[in-house]
Amino acid sequence: MCPYKDSNVAAASLQSDLDRIELWAKIWLVDFNPTKCRVMNFSTKRRPSQLPNLTINGGVMSQVSKHKHLGVFLTETMSWKEHIDHIVAKSSKRLGPLTMLKNQVTRTALNTMYITLIRPILEYSSSTFLNLTQADADRLEQVQYKAARIVSGALSGTSRTSTIQEVGWDTLTDRRKSQQATIMYKISNALAPNYLQNALANITRTQGRYNLRNQSLELAVTRTSRYQKSFVPSSISLWNSLPLDIKNSRSLDSFKITYKRTFRTTPKRIFSHGPKRSSRFLAQCRMGFPPLNAYLYIRQLVASPRCACNEGDETTKHFFLKCPKYAAAREELFREVNVILESFDFRLGGINDTLHILLFGHAEISEDCNIRLFDLVFTFITNSNRIARY
């Protein structure tokens, strides 16, 4: 790697290095194959300067516009589109088996499959492509959204935000920020390689030894948004924005725990509980797009939003709280739920509060009691026979 303004000067410098490498290779009986060596001229100019030919071991090295290095696609324009194309295609292929298994295995198993088999592809070397375009970032998020729909059972057209919240995943953008913050903590505590610490020192205006824990770093002026979003400048901005108690964590594990508690999403285990069909329907209600007429009508999948009882549109609220067809089952549901809540000095109250408790559980009772509550809701859903056709 040789930054330059004059291509001839750069070529001379690179050729000198190649000659020394060739001499070293002869001493140690190493043979470099010129046909497997590549030269790439990185530039954002519309008409970049052309490098003179470079040679090694008597052969001319070919100049290329893109190259795959350690699994990362590099291009001469320093665009990440080629690499994003690759990982989106590779990860999308693995959504197929997830789709085929969605009705055979539990939601927990589907979640584990995504986290172990698909997300690592989307995040491989993600700290290198922090300055990707918003369009490419959205393409990565779209793959995760498709996986979240499979795991949660969300219908097509369900909000991306509510679907990701339902499965309890962080956005890939937030996960990249978490990785950045972790690397910055390692740098501040001399846990990172020297080249990272040197890169940070070279780009800041802070002189001498600096303590990343107790002071904000002053960043040199960045002239382009691409450079501003690259690893070191964006990591410094992120580090400066962190609360002091997080930066002052006593250990790396403590830092990760505190950062996660402050900024990241905690999955709700109870959302994965229950019979597949009933729990999927309940999840669809939580995400705001269940297979009820009021929502299907919006997508032009049914002729009318009205409920079969003809006393209102068939919304989630109508189904759980108002439809006279399920009055007896609803009365039994409310009675049993109140038995659980009364042991904690609570009772079902207004319509909105009651609906929230039925969909999400109660925040102030134990997880075991919330599981019992959900079991009652699943019984109500099954006995209604409303989801038999879906």
pLDDT per position as a tens digit, 193-236: 888 888 777 666 444 445 555 566 777 677 778 778 888 888 88
Among the residue ranges 40-44, 178-182, 248-252, the one predicted with the least confidence is: 40-44
Encode the chain in three state secondary structure. Answer: CCCCCCHHHHHHHHHHHHHHHHHHHHHCCCCCCHHHCEECCCCCCCCCCCCCCCEECCEECEECCEEEECCEEEECCCCCHHHHHHHHHHHHHCHHHHHHHCCCCCHHHHHHHHHHHHHHHHHCCHHHCCCCCHHHHHHHHHHHHHHHHHHHCCCCCCCHHHHHHHHCCCCHHHHHHHHHHHHHHHHHCCCCCHHHHHHHHHHECCCCCCCCCCCCCCECCCCCHHHHCCHHHHHHHHHHHCCHHHHCCCCHHHHHHHHHHHHCCCCCHHHHCCCHHHHHHHHHHHCCCCCCHHHHCCCCCCCCCECCCCCCECCHHHHHHHCHHHHHHHHHHHHHHHHHHHCCCCCCCCHHHHHHHHHHCCCCCCHHHHHHHHHHHHHHHHHHCCCCCC
pLDDT at 372 exceeding the cut of 70: yes
**Which of 205, 147, 202, 137 has the alpha carbon at shortest distance from 174?**
137
Q: To the nearest whole number, what is the mean pLDDT of the chain? A: 89
Give the pLDDT confidence score for residue 209 in this predicted structure: 44
> 83-96: per-residue pLDDT in tens?
999 999 999 999 99
Give the mean pLDDT of 172-194.
Answer: 91
Rounded distance between C-alpha atoms, residue 82 and residue 106, angstroms: 35
**CA-based nearest residue to 284, from 167, 386, 154:** 154
pLDDT band at 4 (very low <50, low <70, confident <90, very high): low
Task: Write the pLDDT tens digit of every residue in 228-271.
Answer: 888 888 888 899 899 999 999 999 999 999 999 999 888 899 99
pLDDT of residue 311 exceeding 80, the answer is yes
Check residue 335 and give its pLDDT.
94
Residue 293 pLDDT > 70 = yes
pLDDT in tens, 103-149: 999 999 999 999 999 999 999 999 889 889 999 999 999 999 999 99
Mean pLDDT over 143-164 rounds to 96
Give the pLDDT of residue 212. 55
Q: Is residue 388 pLDDT above 70, yes or no? A: no
- Residue 317, both tokens: 């609220």
| Model confidence, pTM | 0.88
The pLDDT score that the predictor gives to residue 346 is 84
pLDDT at 2: 61
Q: How confident is the model at residue 52 (pLDDT cuts 50, 70, 90)?
A: confident
